[in-house]
C-alpha cells in the first residue's frame, strides 16, 4: 500500500515509522530482524530502508603502488525490502539514489521493486562518494533527484527508456522526497532550495520526509515556507534520539544541522553515553509530543542501526 494511503487511512492519528540501514556485508537477515522486532509492537505501517553507494578504498600492491578498489559495505536494499514485507507484512520504502546508477540500472531496479510488490520509493540524489568533494553522476545517470523523479513518474505512466510510446502497463509507485528544514548544505539559500523542492513535487513526488532536526521551530518555519510556496503535500518530520556524546559534533558535521544550546549543554554535562542517551530520549519525546499536537501525519525516526532509544521514545508515545 502507498505511504499516502496509510496517511489517509489513519484519519488524523499520528503514525509511527522508522528508517533502518542494511546490515554490513557478511551479516544476515537475523541481525536486521533482531533490530526491527522490538519496534514492531508500535505498528509501523511502513519501514524505510536506506541505500548506500559504493566507496573507494586503496590497497597497497607488492610493488608499492596503490590500487583503487570499489566496495559497497551495505548492499541489499531491494532484497531487504522484500524480506521485511514478507516477514512482517508491512510496507517498505526503499531509498533509491542517483549516484552510482545509470538510467537503465535505475529502470531495472524499479522493475524489480514493482515485481516484488513494493509500492513506494524515496527518490534521492545521494551524497558524493566519501573521497570526492562534490557529487558526480554516473555516466548516463541522473544529476539531481528531480531527474530521478521524472523517470519514476514516466514509468508510472507506462513510459520506459526504450520506447517513446506508452507500454500497456506502467508501475504505480508513491514517490517520497527529501526536504531540509535547515537548508540543503549545497543550496545557496533557502529560497533556492524550496524552489527545487517544489519542482520535485510538480514532477510527481507525493510527500516529503525531512532531514533530522532538534529544534521543532525549524520544522514549523519550514512547513510554513513550503505552504507559502504552494507545496501542499504531507511533510513528515524526521527525528533522531541522540545516543552518544560524540553525536554532538558528528551529527552537525554529517547532516549540516544545528543542535540547540539547551540540548548541547545537557549532553556535554553527561558523565557517559548512558546518561547522554537518556537525555537524547527525553528530548526526542518532548519534540515528538509537540509535533503530535501540531498534527503531523507521522513521526519518522532515524534508528541508524540501533533500536533501543527509538523504542524508549515509542513506548512513551504510541
Ligand X SMILES: Cc1cc2nc3c(=O)[nH]c(=O)nc-3n(C[C@H](O)[C@H](O)[C@H](O)COP(=O)(O)OP(=O)(O)OC[C@H]3O[C@@H](n4cnc5c(N)ncnc54)[C@H](O)[C@@H]3O)c2cc1C
Active site residues: 19
Q: Which is nearer to ligand X, 73 or 184 (CB)?
A: 184
Cα atoms found within 13 Å of the Cα of residue 41, Cβ hemisphere only:
11
What is the grid cell recorded at 85?
A: 514485507
Q: Which is nearer to ligand X, 225 or 270 (CB)?
A: 225
Q: What is the DSSP string of 44-88?
A: -SEEEE-----EEEEEE-TTS-EEEEEE-SS--HHHHHHHHHHHH
| Nearest-approach distance from CB 132 to ligand X, in angstroms | 12
Should residue 127 be labelled a site residue for ligand X when binding is judged by CB under 6 A? yes
Stretch that binds ligand X, among 5-13, 62-70, 183-191, 271-279 (CB under 6 A): 183-191
Kindly report the number of other CB atoms within 10 A of residue 80's CB atom: 22
| Nearest-approach distance from CB 169 to ligand X, in angstroms | 28
Query: DSSP code of 167?
Result: P
Should residue 146 be labelled a site residue for ligand X when binding is judged by CB under 6 A? yes
Cα atoms found within 13 Å of the Cα of residue 136, Cβ hemisphere only:
7
H-state helical runs in the chain: 3-9, 29-36, 77-88, 103-115, 145-156, 190-202, 216-228, 247-255, 261-268, 273-294, 308-317
Should residue 51 be labelled a site residue for ligand X when binding is judged by CB under 6 A? yes
Stretch that binds ligand X, among 7-15, 36-44, 121-129, 278-286 (CB under 6 A): 121-129
Stretch that binds ligand X, among 3-11, 125-133, 151-159, 246-254 (CB under 6 A): 125-133
Should residue 50 be labelled a site residue for ligand X when binding is judged by CB under 6 A? yes
Stretch that binds ligand X, among 118-126, 246-254, 290-298, 304-312 (CB under 6 A): 118-126
Q: Which of 186, 268, 269, 315 binds ligand X (CB under 6 A)?
A: 186
Q: What part of residues 87-106 is at the interface with ligand X (CB under 6 A)?
A: 95, 97
What is the grid cell recorded at 51?
A: 541505500
Strand partners, 300: 17, 238
| Nearest-approach distance from CB 116 to ligand X, in angstroms | 18
What is the grid cell recorded at 37?
A: 522486532
Contact assessment for residue 149 and residue 206, using Cβ atoms and an 8 Å cutoff: no
Q: Which of 88, 196, 220, 318 binds ligand X (CB under 6 A)?
A: 196
**Orientation angle between helical segments 103-115 and 77-88, nearest 10 degrees:** 10
- Name the residues that contact ligand X, by CB under 6 A: 50-51, 53, 95, 97, 122, 124-127, 144-146, 178, 184, 186-187, 192-193, 196, 209, 211, 238
Amino acid at each position: 500500500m502507498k505511504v499516502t494511503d496509510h496517511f489517509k487511512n489513519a484519519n488524523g492519528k499520528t503514525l509511527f515509522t522508522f528508517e533502518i540501514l542494511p546490515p554490513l556485508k557478511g551479516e544476515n537477515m537475523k541481525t536486521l530482524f533482531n533490530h526491527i522486532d522490538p519496534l514492531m509492537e508500535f505498528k509501523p505501517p511502513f519501514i524505510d530502508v536506506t541505500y548506500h553507494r559504493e566507496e573507494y578504498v586503496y590497497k597497497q600492491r607488492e610493488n608499492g603502488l596503490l590500487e583503487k578498489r570499489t566496495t559497497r559495505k551495505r548492499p541489499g536494499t531491494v532484497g531487504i525490502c522484500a524480506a521485511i514485507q514478507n516477514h512482517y507484512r508491512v510496507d517498505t520504502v526503499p531509498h533509491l539514489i542517483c549516484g552510482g546508477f545509470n538510467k537503465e540500472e535505475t529502470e531495472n531496479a524499479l522493475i524489480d521493486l514493482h515485481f516484488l510488490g513494493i509500492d513506494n520509493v524515496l527518490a534521492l540524489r545521494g551524497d558524493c562518494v566519501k573521497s570526492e568533494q562534490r557529487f558526480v553522476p554516473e555516466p548516463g545517470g541522473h544529476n539531481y533527484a528531480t531527474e530521478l523523479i521524472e523517470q519514476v513518474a514516466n514509468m508510472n505512466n507506462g513510459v520506459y527508456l526504450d520506447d517513446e510510446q506508452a507500454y500497456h502497463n506502467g508501475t504505480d509507485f508513491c514517490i517520497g522526497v527529501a526536504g531540509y528544514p535547515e537548508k540543503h548544505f549545497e543550496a545557496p539559500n533557502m529560497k533556492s532550495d524550496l524552489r527545487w523542492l517544489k519542482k520535485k513535487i510538480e514532477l510527481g513526488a507525493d510527500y516529503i520526509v525531512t532531514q533530522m532536526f532538534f529544534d521543532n521551530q525549524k520544522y514549523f518555519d519550514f512547513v510554513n515556507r513550503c505552504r507559502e510556496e504552494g507545496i501542499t503535500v504531507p511533510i513528515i518530520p524526521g527525528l533522531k534520539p541522540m545516543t552518544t556524546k560524540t553525536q554532538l559534533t558528528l551529527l552537525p558535521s554529517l547532516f549540516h544541522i544545528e543542535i540547540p544550546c539547551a540540548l548541547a549543554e545537557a549532553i556535554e554535562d553527561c558523565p557517559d553515553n548512558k546518561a547522554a542517551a537518556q537525555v537524547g530520549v527525553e528530548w526526542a519525546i518532548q519534540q515528538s509530543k509537540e509535533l503530535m499536537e501540531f498534527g503531523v501525519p507521522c513521526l519518522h525516526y532515524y534508528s541508524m542501526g540501533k533500536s533501543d532509544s527509538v523504542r524508549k521514545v515509542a513506548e512513551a508515545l504510541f
